[in-house]
Each structure stands twice: as C-alpha cells, then as structure tokens.
Amino acid sequence: MGPRVDFPYFEHLHYYDQVRDARLNISYSNVREFTFGEFRRELPKDLDLNWANTNGPERLRKMIAGRHGTRVDRVLMTTGATEGNFVVNASMVRPGDRVLVDSPIYSPLRDVPTGLGAQVIRIPRACDDGWRLDVNRWRAEAKAGARLLVFANLGNPTSAAVSRTEIGEVAEIAEESEAYVLVDETFRELAFERRPPSVAQFGPRMIALSTITKVCGLGTLRAGWIVAEPNLLERFGRIKDYTSGGNSALGQLVASWALERWEFFLRRARRILTRNRKVVREALAEMPALQTEVPPFGTVLFPHSLVDVGTLADALLKRHKTVIAEGRFFGMDDHFRLGLGGDMDELRRGLGNLRKALQSAA
C-alpha cells in the first residue's frame, strides 16, 4: 500500500468562514474590492459558455506574458494561484522529497507539499533582521537535497521582497542542486517602481504563480496562471485536466478587462495603500506592545506582539467584532497579519479597537 495523501486542514481559509459576521476585518491581503459595475461594460451576448481553451485564451495569455517579460507559450491559466500551486506540487513532488519553504509564508505554499508526503523544511526569516533572506542557509539546505524551493515575492504576510540579486542566487542554488524554484508573485507588482523582476526570466528551473485578484480587488474571480517552460506546463496541464479541466470563460473575460486596465489598477492600489500606510504608522506609534516597521510596499504587515496573539485575537473578536489573522496560520505564533489595502475609515476604526484590546491586556 502506497503512502497516504493527507492534506493539513486549511485553518486560515475556514477561520474567515467563522468570522464573516464580524464588523471589521483588518487582516485581508487584497486591495479594496472593485465591483463588476465599475468596469462599465456589458457582457457580450454571444459569449460561449459551453467551451473554453484548456490553456486559456491566447490574447489573455499574451497580456500575462508581457507582465512577466516572457513568451505566451510559457503561460498556463489556472483557477487562481491556489490551483496553480497545487498542480505544480502534484506534478513535481513525491513522498519523501525535500521541499524547502520560506517562512513565514501563506499556508498552502507550505501545506500542499506536506499533504503530498514531502519532507518540508521551513527556512525562517527574522523580523528583527528586516525579514532578510538568508541565502547561505538556503544553499546549505539545498546541498543536502531538494526537489523544490518555495517563496512568495512579495512575501505574504511580511511584504518582504526577494531582490533581483537574490533571485539570481536562488536560481544558481537550484541549478547546483538540480531543484526547481516555485515563487508566488501575486503581490510582486505592488512594489510599483521597486518591483522585483519575475523569476520567469531567470532560467528553465524557475516557476512563477500569480493572479488577478489581489491587485485589482477581484477576490472571487479566481483567474490565475503559471509561468514556466513549455515542457513543464505540459506536465502541469495533465494534472489540471483532473482539477478544473478548463477555466471559466466568464472569469477569463473579466480578467482580460482587468489586464487591459492594469496600469489603472496599479494607480488605484497605490492611492489606497499610500493613505492607509499613513494611518497605520500613526496608529502603531500608540501601540508599544507591537514591534514592526510599516513596509514601504505591499498590502500586508506582520507585527510582533508582546501580548499573546491568541488571547488578543479572541478579545478583539468577542469585544470589538474585529478580525486579525493570527501568525500561527503563517508559521509564527507571536505575530499577526494586518492588511493595508482596505477601506481607510474601517481600517482606522479597526486599529482603534486593536489599541483598546492591547491596553486591556497590558
């Protein structure tokens, strides 16, 4: 009998199901929602809802390829970055493989290889070191054997960036160890003019994931993609045939509308994030129990709390109907995630509640 496939419970996802009635959620990683009506377009009456290209429409993939500085034949559409992460791992990881994972990180990037039976090695970063990537530690771990090296760029929950130089070093490590590198680039362009390049430009062992949803505030659209060498995409596509087969024609149409207006969505995101960063900096000055710097880009921050995070989150929810994302979801219990991309007034009220909860716990 073969090894049992046993995926960890996706606690973070289902936690949000449990707190849907809370008045304020200041933990989300997306930019504020954008409604269908704001596109000011009508759906074509002849839209084919019976068939869709399994790779995704070529016009859509061309726009995506342009964002990553690569060719259209290196893009495969998926049902969000989450499906992309799953099909890459399911195609490449076998029980017992060593998978090196950046930490802290969004849990599916860690837990999918765990569920497939991999030996997952977490390589931690430290907040008091500015969430710096320890390339030497990665090189040493990869020498012991690795099938896959996993990152997010920008980081979720830290907004830390992996620089061009660091990407090049990671690509060298992968080549030396005959490993592949998987990078979730969902938040990459939210560093704006300081955005790191896509790993898709750094050789055949590099695999990028991304999605429309976070930059544009289109969370339920579930339009994502994988960027990799065509021979890898063929392998990933064989797994995707059994997960979603093809993608929603309606979703991909709206995704194409969003990509046509990508620069508008980046400008919109910058306006929202710039205002909210100022609000958060001012609020944190009155919360000495939280140790953090507001990152200069990205949609999230991950403060260290001198107050027990579980107790704090529970008090916030019960007394103030306010939600934060506990650090345990990301692999670091004494931190929690705050979102920078939401409504400014709601963020200000939520931070006020956070301050009250911290004062009560002191």
Q: Rounded CA gap, 298 and 257, in Å?
A: 23
Please state whether the peptide bond connecting residue 182 to the residue before it is cis, i.e. omega within 30 degrees of 0.
Answer: no
- Give the pLDDT score at 165: 98
Residue ranges covered by each domain of the chain: 11-34+263-361, 49-261
Query: Tens-of-pLDDT digits for all 362 residues of the chain?
Result: 556 678 999 999 999 999 988 899 999 999 999 999 999 999 999 988 888 788 889 999 999 999 999 999 999 999 999 999 999 999 999 999 999 999 999 999 999 999 999 999 999 999 999 999 999 999 999 999 999 999 999 999 999 999 999 999 999 999 999 999 999 999 999 999 999 999 999 999 999 999 999 999 998 899 999 999 999 999 999 999 999 988 899 999 999 999 999 999 999 999 999 999 999 999 999 999 999 999 999 999 999 999 999 999 999 999 999 999 999 999 999 999 999 999 999 999 999 999 999 998 87
- Give the pLDDT score at 332: 96
Q: Rounded CA gap, 30 and 238, in Å?
A: 30
For 135, other C-beta atoms within 10 Å of its C-beta total 15
CATH number of the 49-261 domain: 3.40.640.10
Distances (CA, A) of 246 to 51, 57, 269, 282: 8, 11, 30, 46
Q: Rounded CA gap, 316 and 24, in Å?
A: 10
Distances (CA, A) of 181 to 148, 300, 362: 6, 24, 43
- Under a CB-based contact definition with an 8 Å cutoff, are residues 268 and 31 in contact? yes
- Under a CB-based contact definition with an 8 Å cutoff, are residues 182 and 150 in contact? yes
For 141, other C-beta atoms within 10 Å of its C-beta total 18
At 65, list the tokens. Answer: 């390829």
Look up residue 138 and give its amino acid: W
Name which of 301, 225, 261 is nearest 68 in CA terms.
Answer: 225
Give the helix ranges, DSSP H, for the chain.
11-18, 58-68, 80-92, 107-115, 135-143, 164-177, 213-216, 230-243, 249-260, 262-284, 309-320, 344-361
- Give the pLDDT score at 186: 98
Q: Rounded CA gap, 111 and 93, in Å?
A: 12
Please state whether the peptide bond connecting residue 104 to the residue before it is cis, i.e. omega within 30 degrees of 0.
Answer: yes
Angle between helices 249-260 and 262-284 (to 10 degrees): 80
- Under a CB-based contact definition with an 8 Å cutoff, are residues 178 and 209 in contact? no
For 217, other C-beta atoms within 10 Å of its C-beta total 23
Q: Rounded CA gap, 216 and 262, in Å?
A: 8
- Give the pLDDT score at 2: 59
DSSP assignments along 138-156, one per residue = HHHHHHT--SEEEEESS-T
- Under a CB-based contact definition with an 8 Å cutoff, are residues 75 and 125 in contact? no
- Give CA 258 to chain center in angstroms: 19
At 115, list the tokens. Answer: 């569920």
- Give the pLDDT score at 361: 81
CATH number of the 11-34+263-361 domain: 3.90.1150.10
Q: Rounded CA gap, 13 and 290, in Å?
A: 25
